[in-house]
């Protein structure tokens, strides 16, 4: 089974994906971890590396190619990244989108990275705008188009365990006989 968890920075993707992987005894692959490792290896903060990616499209393309390969070749995993649902495409059994208001996400990031919440929120907004532009330019993806997702959850409204319960219920209650068709992922240029 391939589950994807997508959403903007600070939406709870990593927390939820880890819990979801544990709940179904699946491996967990995090695009954010891979991106941060690449940034650290090169001596950049994630924000600096993100800015560098604006000038060097190979950074995004290498990361996204790897995530696409994982999604198309591996199974029994939770794939987590902003583009996981798009990159996995029709290979995913379920695609989940998590979100929360920008101020909430900024607070979460500030706590995680020990920085000022207002600064974290502004940096996150800048990062999101930059990434959205690149996703559209590189792959024809409108990250704001949530129609490909099976379930979208505002994680500011529930605690992580409650969010997990929703996703586990969605997967557990799935009945293939009653499935009238998941939304296909179309119009994406997978040329990395």
160 assigned binding-site residue: no
Asked whether 163 and 87 are in contact (CB, 8 A), the reply is no
Please tell me whether 15 is known to bind a ligand. Answer: yes
Domain ranges of the chain: 2-172
Class of domain 2-172: alpha beta
Is 115 annotated for ligand binding? no
Is 14 part of any known ligand binding site? yes
**Cα end-to-end span (Å), the chain:** 25
148 to 94, 116, 160, 179: CA distances (angstroms): 10, 34, 23, 15
**Which pLDDT tens digits describe the chain residue by residue (192 residues)?**
999 999 999 999 999 999 999 999 999 999 988 888 888 988 999 879 878 987 898 888 989 998 999 999 999 999 999 999 999 999 999 999 999 999 999 999 999 999 999 999 999 999 899 889 989 999 999 999 999 999 999 999 999 999 999 999 999 999 999 999 999 999 999 988
Establish whether 7 is an annotated binding residue: yes
- Report the Cα 8 to chain-centroid distance in Å: 7
* Burial of 161: CB neighbours in 10 Å, binned 0-12, 13-18, 19+: exposed
pTM over 0.75: yes
């Amino acid at each position: 089974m391939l589950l994807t968890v997508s959403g903007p920075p600070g939406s709870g993707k990593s927390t939820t994906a880890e819990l979801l992987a544990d709940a179904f005894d699946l491996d967990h692959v995090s695009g954010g971890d891979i991106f941060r490792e690449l940034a650290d290896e090169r001596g950049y903060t994630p924000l600096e590396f993100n800015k560098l990616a604006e000038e060097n499209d190979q950074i995004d393309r290498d990361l996204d190619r790897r995530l696409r390969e994982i999604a198309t070749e591996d199974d029994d995993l939770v794939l987590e990244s902003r583009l996981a649902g798009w990159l996995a495409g029709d290979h995913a059994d379920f695609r989940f989108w998590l979100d929360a208001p920008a101020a909430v996400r900024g607070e979460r990031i500030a706590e995680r990275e020990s920085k000022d919440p207002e600064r974290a929120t502004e940096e996150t907004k800048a990062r999101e705008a930059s990434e959205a532009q690149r996703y559209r330019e590189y792959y024809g993806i409108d990250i704001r188009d949530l129609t490909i997702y099976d379930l979208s959850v505002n994680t500011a409204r529930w605690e992580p365990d409650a969010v997990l319960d929703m996703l586990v219920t969605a997967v557990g209650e799935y009945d293939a006989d009653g499935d009238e068709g998941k939304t296909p992922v179309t119009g994406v240029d997978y040329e990395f």
